[in-house]
Amino acid sequence: MTMTVKKMNFKTETRQILDLVVHSLYSHKEIFLRELISNASDAIDKAHFLSLTDKEILDDKNPWKIKIKPDKEAGTLTICDNGIGMTKEDAIRELGTIAHSGTKEFLAAMRSKEVKENPELIGQFGVGFYSSFMVADKVTVISKKAGAKDTKGIKWESTADDSFTVEDVDKEEKGTEIILHLKEDEKKYLEEWEIRSVVKKYSDFIEHPIVMDIEREEEGKIDKSKKVKVKKEETLNARKAIWLKNKSDITESEYNEFYKHLSHDFSDPAKIVHYKAEGASEFTTLFYIPSIRPLDIFYKEYKIGLTLYAKRVKIIEYCEALIQPYLRFVKGVVDSSDLPLNVSREMLQNNREVEKIKNSITKKVLDTLGDMKKNEYDKYLKFYHEFGRVLKEGVHFDFSRRESIGELLLFPSTKTDKDSFRSIQDYIDGMKEGQEDIYYITGSSRDEVLKSPYLEAFNDKDYEVLIMLDDVDDIIMGQFEFKGKKFKSVIKGDITLDDSKKDEKEKAQKKYGKILKFIKERLEDDLKEVRLSGRLKDSPCCLVAEEGEMDPQMEKLLKSMGQNIPERKRILEINPSHPLFEAMNVIFEKDKKSEVLKNYADLLYDQALLLEGSKPKDCAAFAKAISKLMVENAQQN
């Protein structure tokens, strides 16, 4: 029978990843076996799940298993499974392309030095199959889709160059065989001890048996004095569902290795939580709080959710319904005694049992983090550095628990040392007499924020201001209320900290009302209002937004992402006690149509833009005006 071999080219991103995997990763090469076993286990899980409703997929003669076949003569290592298998279209799509929105970021990370110390990125980004090429110069995949009526399978093959071939082949049994033609200097992976070691290290907790034919000497049946070599299939992994064991029977090392199997992370977790709920709702859960943030946690395609089992049968690998999105860093498993085996994602959305589990896990995670913050502060700081930005999303999305989440948040402030933080409760405890609100300022760095003119009046009154450096802070914290205290941005709204100075402000308003009107008319295309400031002490001016409007930092971020943000006018606040403004007022009273005065008004606006970290409206005109002033000043001296 004639077989048609079809040659195809890898997509550009796949070629780049293959090249980087082959030439850039040198440490932890053994993870290739972990990734292939993990993929085989997933394939069996899919077939097992479908077999619950489709008996054609079930094969009682061949129980679920993953088999490793080392062949020293051929120099090949084969990993077989009897799982879901692939059609030709599946192989082309799954092995020839990478559909992931974070592919460019992944490539950038792989090109950095960091990836050599973090090979877990391969597994986290779902491209574990390509790790085969770290140890093999050719990879052959033979597969047949479960449930297929005929004997046709497919053969996919590549040498990690620009292309791969795919063809039809005869294959009796469903499942997949991956044949690695090992490089000459990677033949150690054909040794029994090496295979055992890698399986024990990374895959001991795989539910399905990982087997290998082992040759041993035994006594002869006829002549017991003679030894004969016999091959027997041995299971290499423990297989025991770790979450169903008693906690006292599990070592920390075993807990950590299971975490690494779940998360593709090489670091130990920051916290392990293992408990069994009994009563109206019965389930067991084992979850982990990681110590290192996954590279792709902010990407849309990041896989959220715990692995859901029903009576030890894996139902869904990433069950989003079990976890709050702001706790998406949590990894683990849930095994329910009450859920039916045929439960679907759609059924889970409004399932009361799932909602109970979700609430229980959410409370347990928040309680665990609270205990860490109270009793292991240094460890909590490391966690917060990695995941604080994710956690604070809960203030916005989980209204019923926002105060509990608020208890966990930490911020630098105008009164903390570098690398030190305040909790919101710490801030409230230190509030000055008569202070009603929690004040905060947003920015891109602590050092930059501390120089901000917006803080002048607060520093003068010795009011503490929380410094918020995450781009989402203003949206999240601006609407927050903690124990009756509202959060107020120091760069928005009309602020007067000292009621005793209201009379002074009213007098200044009468004195300078006309020049304020002149500046407003001069800059009416750019400004909504010009007013006297209650927040400035040393600087001449600043730009502020109305209460509730978008923070300038968030506006810049959205624009950089291509979002269409409507143009809005802001408010120019002027310091009435600054000599520059007094000098402008003198000019105004002498000549209300002075060109110098118009130039000064323009410069005042540009200066306000600079002070908030933006560019002047017209950089060339601004530079020219500054040069002219410098020359005039030099000539006078």
* pLDDT (tens digit per residue) in 84-130: 999 998 888 888 765 444 455 555 665 654 444 454 555 554 567 88
Q: Where are the alpha helices (DSSP H) in 113-174?
A: 114-117, 120-124
User: Is the pLDDT assigned to residue 507 strictly greater than 80?
Assistant: yes
d(CA 107, CA 17): 7
pLDDT digits (tens, 9 = 90+) for 544-580: 988 878 777 777 767 766 777 777 888 999 998 899 8
Strand order in the sheet with 227-235: 5-9, 163-170, 152-158, 136-144, 175-182, 76-81, 66-71, 210-219, 227-235
Residue 488 pLDDT: 92
Same domain, 186 and 251: no
Q: Which domain holds residue 465?
A: 409-489
Q: Considering the domain boundaries, does residue 610 fall inside one? A: yes
Among 235, 265, 289, the domain-final residue is 235
Same domain, 179 and 292: no
Question: Considering the entire predicted model, what is its pTM?
Answer: 0.73
Same domain, 470 and 505: no
Residue 113 pLDDT: 47
CA 75 vs CA 72, 181, 351, 460: distances in Å = 5, 6, 52, 76
Q: Considering the domain boundaries, does residue 319 fall inside one? A: yes
Same domain, 482 and 506: no
Among 449, 465, 489, the domain-final residue is 489
Residue 458 maps to which CATH number? 3.40.50.11260
Q: Considering the domain boundaries, does residue 77 fall inside one? A: yes
Q: How many helices (H) and strands (E) does the chain have?
A: 22, 23
| 234 Cβ neighbours under 8 A, 6+ residues apart | 211, 212, 213, 214
pLDDT mean over 136-142:
95
Residue 342 pLDDT: 62
Same domain, 111 and 174: yes
Structurally, the chain folds into a number of domains equal to: 4
Residue 345 pLDDT: 67
Mean of all residue pLDDT scores within the chain = 86
Q: Considering the domain boundaries, does residue 397 fall inside one? A: no
Beta partners for residue 226, in sequence order:
none
Same domain, 582 and 542: yes
pLDDT digits (tens, 9 = 90+) for 189-238: 999 999 999 998 778 878 899 999 998 887 766 666 677 788 899 999 98
d(CA 539, CA 491): 14
CB 573 within 8 A of CB 604: no
Residue 503 pLDDT: 76
Q: Considering the domain boundaries, does residue 399 fall inside one? A: no
Same domain, 214 and 247: no
Weakest-pLDDT range from 14-18, 235-239, 341-345, 631-635: 341-345
pLDDT digits (tens, 9 = 90+) for 589-633: 998 888 889 988 999 999 999 888 788 888 888 888 888 888 877
Where residue 1 falls among pLDDT bands split at 50, 70, 90? Answer: very low
Q: Where are the alpha helices (DSSP H) in 2-136?
A: 12-24, 31-51, 88-96, 103-111, 114-117, 120-124
Q: Considering the domain boundaries, does residue 396 fall inside one? A: no
Between 424 and 277, the more confident residue is 424
User: Is the pLDDT assigned to residue 57 strictly greater than 60?
Assistant: yes
Nearest to 406 by CA among 359, 364, 454, 370: 370
Same domain, 301 and 376: yes
Residue 543 maps to which CATH number? 1.20.120.790
Q: Considering the domain boundaries, does residue 530 fall inside one? A: yes
Residue 122 pLDDT: 52
Residue 125 maps to which CATH number? 3.30.565.10
d(CA 261, CA 269): 12
Q: Report percent pLDDT > 90 for the chain.
A: 44
Residue 2 pLDDT: 46
Q: Considering the domain boundaries, does residue 202 fall inside one? A: yes
Same domain, 368 and 431: no
Beta partners for residue 468, in sequence order:
442
Same domain, 279 and 169: no
pLDDT digits (tens, 9 = 90+) for 351-386: 888 899 999 999 999 999 999 999 999 999 999 999
Same domain, 184 and 290: no
Residue 348 maps to which CATH number? 3.30.230.80
Among 489, 509, 544, the domain-final residue is 489
Same domain, 210 and 349: no
